[in-house]
């Protein structure tokens, strides 16, 4: 039962991930899923946009247009949250909270790889031909906290779909869970 708690845990740094959870997160983040980055507007309100990404096992990389609002937000306040989710059951997802930094403008090589992952070679080449002269930034997101919800389809319809901290003490599911796995840290 340790893996259940581990698979839906909050990780405070990438180095502390178990090998099993690191593999699951790496496998999940290697898929061509659309991420949503949340930044903070100047007035303090949230700003969320869809982005494509690259994950190197430690950090998340994005490429942003020089004039994009979220880039200006990062320049002013580097705190971000990025959600990568699969809209299909069992709706697995990974939330990365951390700090974003602009690490360069030489984006073309990374951009080609990212676009091929999402669009395929032919379509990505056509896209690049029409936009390659437009300035972009490479953004590196260093995770401070990673929360994952990576479960099997089989477990998605059982009490294993929730982290134990969400169960209300005294309910049937809570009591069955405690009976099955014992106590847990909330």
Mean pLDDT of the chain: 86
What stretches of the chain show up as alpha helix (H) in DSSP?
Answer: 2-7, 19-29, 69-76, 108-119, 121-131, 153-156, 172-181
For the entire predicted model, the pTM comes to 0.81
**CB-CB contact of 125 with 119 (8 Å):** no
Note the pLDDT tens digit of each residue in 24-81.
999 999 999 999 999 999 999 999 999 999 999 999 999 999 999 999 999 999 999 9
Exposed/middle/buried for 73, CB within 10 Å: 0-12, 13-18, 19+? buried
Residue 149 has pLDDT above 50, yes or no: yes
Note the pLDDT tens digit of each residue in 69-125.
999 999 999 999 999 999 988 888 999 999 999 999 999 999 999 999 999 999 999
Domain spans of the chain, in order of start: 2-151, 153-186
d(CA 55, CA 140): 10
pLDDT in the model for residue 158? 67
CATH topology of domain 2-151: Pnp Oxidase; Chain A (2.30.110)
């Amino acid at each position: 039962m340790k893996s259940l708690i581990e698979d839906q845990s909050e990780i405070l740094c990438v180095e502390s991930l178990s090998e099993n959870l690191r593999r699951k997160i790496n496998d999940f983040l290697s898929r061509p899923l659309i991420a949503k980055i949340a930044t903070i507007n100047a007035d303090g309100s949230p700003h969320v946009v869809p982005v494509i990404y690259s994950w190197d096992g430690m950090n998340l990389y994005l490429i942003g247009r020089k004039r994009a609002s979220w880039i200006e937000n990062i320049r002013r306040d580097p705190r971000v949250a990025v959600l990568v989710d699969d809209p299909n059951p069992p709706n697995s997802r990974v939330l990365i909270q951390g700090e974003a930094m602009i690490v360069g403008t030489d984006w073309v090589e990374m951009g080609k790889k990212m676009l091929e992952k999402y669009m395929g070679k032919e379509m990505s080449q056509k896209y690049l031909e029409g936009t390659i002269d437009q300035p972009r930034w490479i953004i590196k997101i260093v995770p401070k906290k990673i929360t994952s919800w990576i479960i099997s389809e089989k477990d998605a319809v059982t009490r294993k779909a929730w982290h134990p901290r969400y169960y209300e003490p005294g309910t049937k599911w809570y009591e069955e869970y405690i009976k099955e796995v014992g106590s847990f840290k909330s």
